[in-house]
DNA sequence: ACCCAGGCGACGA
DNA sequence: TCGTCGCATGGG
């Protein structure tokens, strides 16, 4: 069935195409994606959002996934004094930081290194198609998609146990390049418990401590650890520095980032700046 | 043909 | 602790 949530600070298109997730697809004004083995459609309304094909019992799950409990209007006041951030906020209004599944987020951002978003998306899609499990699409969602070019088969993100049993050669169809061995190493360390993701789901765990756990994986450095902590564990104090952020730091903040980018909502500021840099092309040479 | 992408590890100074 | 380089792949 459908669930409607009133919330004026949620923009599905901006949130789901902002480079924090790689598994949502647009079909007209409906985004479809999978989390927790469930597929739903997400459609923005005048003053809220509808989850198509979601069950009432899943209300808390999706509310948490889309971070609808946090008052972003309040958070944004932290950034109002900064000129660049104010502009960035205007063009990113309605973006939220998702709470994605940890293993999926970890692997996705391992794949992201020295890579671009369209290609990351393709590799993640092939990973799910090859090693995930088929997900049943609810009839309510299928009905809405009648007449749309909607894929018949959807696959979950494979778990650590599944991937830990594979070899680099098994991953060749993904065309992940040098990242294949990083994926295997991550899956093995997560599955063995050497990297305990459940332990990281604890806001009281000191940030650097959590980060060092993730960095035990070969191919996980500061940036990927930061992204995993931000987009899966909702550590809003994370501030991942990718090439876009480095450009904007060099171009717009030669004397350093404002304090609000080091505080408890640094990750939200980071996401605004990331979008600003990508949309305006700040610092990028042509 | 080049350059680049939500980086990282190895290596040398 | 710091820069620099190679890494696979594919799109611009």
Residue A18's pLDDT is 96
Please give the Cα distance from A167 to A181 (Å, whole number). 8
Nucleotide nearest to A177 (CA to C1'): C8
Whether the beta carbon of A175 falls within 7 A of nucleic chain B: the reply is no
Residue A47 contacts residue A124 (beta carbons within 8 Å): no
**pLDDT single digits (tens) A202-240:** 999 999 999 999 999 999 999 999 999 999 999 999 999
What is the distance in angstroms measured between the alpha-carbon CA of A211 and the sugar C1' of C2?
A: 22
- According to DSSP, the residues that pair with A134 across neighbouring strands are A155
Please give the Cα distance from A184 to A67 (Å, whole number). 30
Annotation says A223 is catalytic: yes
What is the distance in angstroms measured between the alpha-carbon CA of A193 and the sugar C1' of C3?
A: 35
The closest alpha carbon to A272, from A140, A88, A134, belongs to A88
Confidence of residue A283 (pLDDT cuts 50, 70, 90): confident
Quick check: pTM over 0.95? yes
Characterize the bridge pairing of strands A38-45 and A48-52. antiparallel
Whether the beta carbon of A92 falls within 7 A of nucleic chain B: the reply is no
Which bases along strand C come within 7 Å of a protein CB atom?
Answer: 7-11
Nearest residue to C9 (CA, C1')? Answer: A177
**pLDDT single digits (tens) A4-17:** 999 999 999 999 99
What is the distance in angstroms measured between the alpha-carbon CA of A65 and the sugar C1' of B4?
A: 32
Please give the Cα distance from A253 to A250 (Å, whole number). 6
User: Residue A108 corresponds to which tokens in the numbers above?
Assistant: 């996705």
User: Does the pLDDT value for residue A159 go beyond 80?
Assistant: yes
Sign of CA dihedral A156, A157, A161, A166: positive
What is the distance in angstroms measured between the alpha-carbon CA of A242 and the sugar C1' of C4?
A: 18
**pLDDT single digits (tens) A161-191:** 999 999 999 999 999 999 999 999 999 999 9
What mean pLDDT is predicted for residues A273-285? Answer: 87
Whether the beta carbon of A20 falls within 7 A of nucleic chain B: the reply is yes
What is the distance in angstroms measured between the alpha-carbon CA of A2 and the sugar C1' of B7?
A: 40
The closest alpha carbon to A224, from A245, A237, A206, A238, belongs to A238
Confidence of residue A286 (pLDDT cuts 50, 70, 90): very low
Nearest residue to C8 (CA, C1')? Answer: A177
Distances (CA, A) of A128 to A131, A163, A256: 5, 11, 40
Among A38, A223, A241, A284, the one annotated catalytic:
A223
Beta strand ranges found along chain A (DSSP E): 2-6, 25-27, 30-35, 38-45, 48-52, 134-135, 154-155
Residue A42 contacts residue A30 (beta carbons within 8 Å): yes
Nucleotide nearest to A242 (CA to C1'): B6
Which bases along strand B come within 7 Å of a protein CB atom?
Answer: 4-9
**pLDDT single digits (tens) A84-128:** 999 999 999 999 999 999 999 999 999 999 999 999 999 999 999
Nucleotide nearest to A178 (CA to C1'): C8
User: Does the pLDDT value for residue A261 go beyond 80?
Assistant: yes
> Cβ–Cβ contacts within 10 Å for residue A32, how many?
24
- According to DSSP, the residues that pair with A6 across neighbouring strands are A48
Mean pLDDT of chain A: 96
Distances (CA, A) of A64 to A60, A75, A160, A188: 6, 17, 23, 28
Residue A282's pLDDT is 86
Token pair 């979008």 is at which residue?
A275
Coil, helix or strand at residue A83:
helix
Residue A285's pLDDT is 56
């Amino acid at each position: 069935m459908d669930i409607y949530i009133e919330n004026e600070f949620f923009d599905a298109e901006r949130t789901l195409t902002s480079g924090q997730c790689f598994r949502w697809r647009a079909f007209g004004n409906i985004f479809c994606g999978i989390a927790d083995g469930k597929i739903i459609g997400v459609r923005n309304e005048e003053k809220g959002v509808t989850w198509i094909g979601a069950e009432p019992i899943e209300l808390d799950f999706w509310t948490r996934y889309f971070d609808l409990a946090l008052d972003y209007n309040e958070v944004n006041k932290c950034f109002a004094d900064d000129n660049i951030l104010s502009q960035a906020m205007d063009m990113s209004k309605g973006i939220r930081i998702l709470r994605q599944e940890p293993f999926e987020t970890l692997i996705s951002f391992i794949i992201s290194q020295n890579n671009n978003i369209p290609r990351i998306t393709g590799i993640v899609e092939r990973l799910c198609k090859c090693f995930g499990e088929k997900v049943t699409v609810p009839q309510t969602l299928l009905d809405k998609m009648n007449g749309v070019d909607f894929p018949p088969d959807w696959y979950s993100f494979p778990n650590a146990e599944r991937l830990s049993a594979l070899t680099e050669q098994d991953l060749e169809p993904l065309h992940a390049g040098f990242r294949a061995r990083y994926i295997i190493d991550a899956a093995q360390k997560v599955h063995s418990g050497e990297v305990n993701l459940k332990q990281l789901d604890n806001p009281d765990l000191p940030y650097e401590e959590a980060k060092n756990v993730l960095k035990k994986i070969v191919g996980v450095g500061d940036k990927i650890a930061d992204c995993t902590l931000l987009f899966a564990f909702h550590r809003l104090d994370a501030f991942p520095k990718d090439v876009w952020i480095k450009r904007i730091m060099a171009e717009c903040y030669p004397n350093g980032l404002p304090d609000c980018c080091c505080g408890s909502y640094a990750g939200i500021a980071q996401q605004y700046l990331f979008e600003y840099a990508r949309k305006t092309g700040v610092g990028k040479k042509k």
